[in-house]
């Protein structure tokens, strides 16, 4: 059942990412893709929060390390962007860490650097 959490929101997110990929191609840097995706999300009136700082706690103590995912979308979905030839397991681990820390259930790993098509994965905790 969790596999279908935020299904419509996910379709909207990936639709926006596909639009960016089709417009920009696969040769740019991650920061250009992030700015382009933010512009496309804004154009589509999709709510997002860029690079929101996530504090980490241990038994009530705030730790010095913190995480900054690329985007929160719809106040529920964590989005991590990449511009690499291919996604690797470490990219998934990074997103899973963000999900575990926030208690959010759904995350998307979106890679604009893959030649030929947008590469993406939906992860559910």
Residue 47 above 70 pLDDT? yes
Average pLDDT of the segment spanning 20-47: 97
Q: Which residue has the higher pLDDT, 112 or 3?
A: 112
Does a structural domain hold residue 103?
yes
Quick check: is 1 in a domain?
Answer: no
pTM over 0.85: yes
Q: What is the pLDDT of residue 13?
A: 99
pLDDT (0 to 100) of residue 3: 55
User: Is 55 contained in some domain?
Assistant: yes
pLDDT value of residue 54: 84
Residue 84 in domain: yes
Look at 82 and 54; give whichever has higher pLDDT.
Answer: 82
Pairing of strands 77-82, 106-111: parallel
Q: Is residue 60 part of a domain?
A: yes
Q: What is the pLDDT of residue 4?
A: 85
Tell me how many domains the chain contains. Answer: 1
Does some domain include residue 2? no
CATH number at residue 86: 3.90.320.10
Return the pLDDT at 51: 83
Q: Give me the mean pLDDT over the 71-93 stretch.
A: 96
pLDDT band at 52 (very low <50, low <70, confident <90, very high): confident
- Say which residues have a Cβ less than 8 Å from residue 73's Cβ, sequence separation at least 6: 9, 13, 41, 46, 47, 48, 79, 108
Do residues 105 and 78 make contact, with C-beta atoms less than 8 angstroms apart?
Answer: no
Note down the domain range covering 118. Answer: 7-124
Mean pLDDT of 104-120: 96
Question: What is the pLDDT, as a whole number, of residue 2?
Answer: 54
């Amino acid at each position: 059942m969790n596999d279908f959490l935020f299904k419509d929101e996910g379709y909207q997110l990936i639709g926006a990412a596909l639009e960016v990929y089709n417009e920009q191609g696969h040769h740019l840097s991650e920061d250009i893709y992030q700015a382009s995706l933010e512009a496309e999300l804004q154009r589509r009136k999709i709510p997002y929060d860029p690079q929101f700082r996530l504090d980490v706690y241990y038994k009530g103590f705030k730790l010095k390390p913190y995480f900054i995912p690329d985007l929160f979308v719809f106040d529920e979905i964590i989005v991590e962007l990449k511009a690499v030839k291919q996604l690797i397991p470490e990219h998934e681990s990074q997103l899973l860490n963000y999900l575990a820390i926030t208690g959010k259930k759904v995350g998307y790993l979106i890679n604009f650097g893959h030649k030929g098509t947008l590469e993406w994965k939906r992860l559910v905790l």
